[in-house]
């Protein structure tokens, strides 16, 4: 990191300056009725092109990213984003195409999307795929909305309860609420599996479905999944698969074969589209036979050698549209390119090496004396270290370790999630990291624990080497400063 501080773009601004090459220079008056005209111009920066380029380049240098740092962020699958996926998704014809242009002018694009649907069906074992949801949470929404539509179509109107394990991602219960459902939470056993007896206790005529991640958010494969599926199905509910952890099982086991009725895939995790500092993602959904009529539209269909959009006329029972056009197409293109470069062998290697890296890292950290949350279990693509001992003995908690790791040049693992494990780090190395990088991470963890014992202040005050030290979150929430105003100029 070369830049350590960069002023606000507004502080580079001077009245009358602008990047003149970037807009039409012939002055034009907008013939707008007086009552609808804007008075004061908006507060946008007035800077030269170089000033803008330098400002935003400097800002970029204040970030950690996969391209610059190891990012073992559990549940987020921060793997390398191949450059070819970006370059070939940004060909001018694909970028310039208007989404409402006639199908006859988009046969190349439609074929790509059709083939992507087919490939995702194959890797998930589902019968149909819709690419429209724009992120995992919207995929979840689509899934639960389809479950509700299914029950409604059968006139089974009492089914409004969604079952979630206590380890579930926060999006699961939030999604259930958005779909007008209530949440029934079930506990996880000490060995990491679902509490089958508790499940039997909550299923019934109100059960709409269950939302599960497998491997679960604690990084182990749910061994009783067929039993879970049987119980929920016999009770009349459906099974929702949260695909956040699909990277762990790609080509090894398919959600469709486990009995799931609907799945969302985070293409920005498993299929390596970029996270972009918080999106765009893509939450494509796959469904079993019984949910085919309810899929969100549009889909891509094929008739003879022509491709066309399928819409409400083709799927009259659809849950409808979730985006103005057809989702995050550019993300879909990147996932398609990635899948074509991996091929059938490469996709299986993804789960093999993601699992190898996680288990190796887990073995090394255990050997170094760190406590594992589920020591008797095989890790999937991620695993949990609990720092409760370190917190108790030296008052250095998981947050302190996470912040100190930043000083060592590693992005922190996921902290304090899942909620049921105290002082936890959820660590997901992904398959694209080398053994050398994993070893360096272990060395850093060992060094930090040594510091925790001898100089805990080094952890409590960390990070020391980044653009800022720990931020005052309480002040941020109490003295809200959410936008720069003209009067804040100093």
Instruction: Please list every residue from 453 through 472 that binds another protein, using CB under 8 A.
Output: 461, 463, 466-472
Residue 435 sits in the site that holds another protein (CB under 8 A): yes
Rounded to the nearest whole angstrom, what is the least distance from the CB of residue 234 to another protein in the complex?
Answer: 19
Q: In DSSP terms, which residues pair with 285 in a beta bridge?
A: 130, 264
Residue 134 sits in the site that holds another protein (CB under 8 A): yes
Residue 228 sits in the site that holds another protein (CB under 8 A): no
Residue 84 sits in the site that holds another protein (CB under 8 A): yes
The SS3 of residue 139 is: helix
User: What are the backbone dihedrals phi and psi of residue 207, each rounded to the nearest 5 degrees, phi first?
Assistant: -70, 115
Site for another protein in 139-168 (CB under 8 A): 140-141, 145, 148
Site for another protein in 237-266 (CB under 8 A): 249, 251-254, 257-258
Site for another protein in 304-363 (CB under 8 A): 319-331, 333, 337, 339-349, 351-353, 355-357, 359-360, 363
Rank residues 91 and 447 by Cβ distance to another protein and give the closer one: 91
Rounded to the nearest whole angstrom, what is the least distance from the CB of residue 90 to another protein in the complex?
Answer: 8
Site for another protein in 48-67 (CB under 8 A): 49, 52-53, 55-67
Smallest CA-to-CA distance from 75 within 427, 442, 432 is with 427
Look at the block and give the residue holding tokens 């939302």.
211
Say how many C-beta atoms besides its own lie within 10 A of residue 346's C-beta.
Answer: 14
Smallest CA-to-CA distance from 428 within 220, 169, 219, 253 is with 219
Assigned token pair, 283: 């939450």
Look at the block and give the residue holding tokens 């550019």.
330
Residue 135 sits in the site that holds another protein (CB under 8 A): yes
Rank residues 68 and 205 by Cβ distance to another protein and give the closer one: 68
Site for another protein in 365-424 (CB under 8 A): 367, 377-378, 402-403, 406, 411-412, 417
Rank residues 154 and 392 by Cβ distance to another protein and give the closer one: 154
Say how many C-beta atoms besides its own lie within 10 A of residue 387's C-beta.
Answer: 24
Beta strands 207-212 and 182-186, pairing class = unpaired
Tell me the DSSP string of 362-413: HHHHHHTTPEESSTTSPP-S-EEEE-HHHHHHH---HHHHHHHHHHTTBPPP
Give the residue, chosen from 2, 23, 155, 454, that forms a contact with another protein under the rule CB under 8 A. Answer: 23
Smallest CA-to-CA distance from 280 within 333, 243, 341, 320 is with 333
Look at the block and give the residue holding tokens 């679960």.
216
Give the residue, chosen from 434, 443, 447, 489, that forms a contact with another protein under the rule CB under 8 A. Answer: 434
Rank residues 394 and 417 by Cβ distance to another protein and give the closer one: 417
Rounded to the nearest whole angstrom, what is the least distance from the CB of residue 150 to another protein in the complex?
Answer: 13
């Amino acid at each position: 990191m070369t830049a350590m501080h960069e002023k606000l773009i507004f502080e580079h601004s001077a009245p009358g300056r602008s990047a003149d090459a970037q807009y039409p220079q012939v002055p034009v008056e907008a013939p707008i009725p007086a009552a609808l005209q804007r008075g004061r111009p908006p507060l946008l920066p007035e800077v030269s092109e170089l000033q803008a380029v330098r400002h935003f380049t400097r800002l970029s240098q204040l970030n950690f990213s996969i391209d610059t740092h190891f990012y073992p962020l559990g549940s987020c699958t921060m793997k390398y984003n191949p450059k070819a996926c970006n370059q070939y998704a940004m060909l001018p014809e694909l970028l310039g195409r208007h989404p409402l242009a006639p199908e006859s002018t988009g046969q190349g694009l439609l074929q790509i999307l059709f083939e992507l649907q087919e490939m995702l069906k194959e890797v998930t074992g589902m019968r149909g795929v819709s690419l429209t949801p724009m992120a995992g949470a919207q995929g979840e929404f689509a899934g639960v909305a389809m479950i509700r539509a299914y029950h409604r179509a059968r006139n089974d109107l009492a089914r409004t309860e969604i079952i979630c394990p206590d380890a579930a991602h926060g999006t699961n219960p939030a999604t259930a609420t958005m779909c007008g459902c209530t949440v029934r939470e079930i506990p996880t056993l000490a060995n990491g599996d679902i509490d089958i007896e508790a499940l039997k206790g909550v299923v019934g005529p109100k059960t709409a479905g269950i939302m599960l991640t497998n491997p679960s958010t604690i990084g182990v494969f749910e061994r009783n999944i067929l039993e879970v599926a049987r119980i929920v199905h016999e009770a009349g509910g459906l099974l929702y698969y949260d695909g956040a952890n699909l990277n762990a099982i790609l080509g090894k086991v398919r959600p469709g074969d486990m009995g799931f009725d609907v799945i969302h895939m985070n293409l920005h995790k498993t299929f390596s589209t970029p996270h972009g500092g918080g999106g765009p993602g893509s939450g494509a959904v796959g469904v079993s036979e019984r949910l085919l009529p309810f899929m969100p539209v549009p889909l891509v269909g094929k008739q003879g050698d022509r491709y066309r959009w399928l819409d409400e006329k083709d799927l009259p029972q659809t849950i409808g549209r979730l985006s103005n056009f057809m989702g995050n197409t550019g993300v879909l293109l990147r996932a398609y390119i990635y899948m074509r470069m991996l091929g059938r062998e490469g996709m299986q290697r993804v789960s093999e090496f993601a699992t190898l890296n996680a288990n190796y890292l887990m073995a090394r950290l255990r050997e170094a004396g760190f406590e594992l949350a589920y020591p008797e279990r095989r890790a999937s693509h991620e695993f949990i270290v609990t720092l409760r001992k370190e917190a108790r003995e030296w008052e250095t908690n998981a947050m302190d370790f996470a912040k100190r790791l930043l000083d060592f040049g590693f992005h922190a693992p996921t902290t304090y999630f899942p909620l049921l494990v105290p002082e936890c780090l959820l660590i997901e190395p992904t398959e694209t990291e080398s053994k050398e990088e994993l070893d360096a991470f272990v060395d850093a963890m060992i060094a930090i624990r040594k510091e925790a014992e001898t100089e805990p202040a080094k952890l409590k005050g960390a990070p020391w080497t980044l653009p800022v030290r720990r931020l005052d979150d309480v002040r941020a929430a109490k003295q809200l400063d959410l936008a720069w105003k003209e009067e804040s100029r100093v």
